[in-house]
């Protein structure tokens, strides 16, 4: 699940238009970019039901990035909550 968090971060960074359309054409390029940047590592595992499958895992650098971004996101949410509570008191 943590890899998906990082993928969503990648999607949010790439699409700041306010409307996200998610498809395979969006997810896999982001996974590739995160791997190139050293945030993910992959493992190819044979599958009894078809072709080998690629599994993604956060590297220690990726875990650090996710932690940093989670803290930043918490600050953004707190700021939004503060604005909302001020708006309700006027």
Cα gap 12→69, rounded to integer Å: 12
Distance CA 81, CA 53 (A): 42
At the topology level, CATH places domain 2-88 in Arc Repressor Mutant, subunit A (1.10.10)
In 3-state terms, what secondary structure has residue 78? Answer: helix
pTM metric for this prediction: 0.60
From 74, 77, 73, 4, select the one nearest 34 (Cα to Cα): 4
The domains of the chain are located at 2-88
Specify the 3-state DSSP secondary structure of 71: helix
Tell me the pLDDT tens digit for each residue of 8-39.
666 555 555 555 556 667 778 888 988 999 99
The tokens for 31 are 């996974």
Predicted pLDDT of residue 80 = 87
User: Does the pLDDT value for residue 42 go beyond 70?
Assistant: yes
């Amino acid at each position: 699940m943590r890899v998906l968090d990082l993928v969503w971060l990648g999607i949010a960074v790439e699409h700041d238009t306010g409307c996200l359309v998610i498809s395979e054409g969006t997810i896999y390029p982001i996974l590739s970019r995160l791997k190139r940047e050293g945030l993910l590592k992959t493992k190819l595992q044979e599958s009894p039901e078809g072709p080998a499958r690629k599994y993604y895992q956060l590297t220690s650098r990726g875990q650090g990035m996710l932690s940093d971004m989670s803290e930043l996101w918490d600050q953004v949410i707190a700021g939004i909550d503060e604005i909302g509570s001020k708006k309700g008191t006027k």
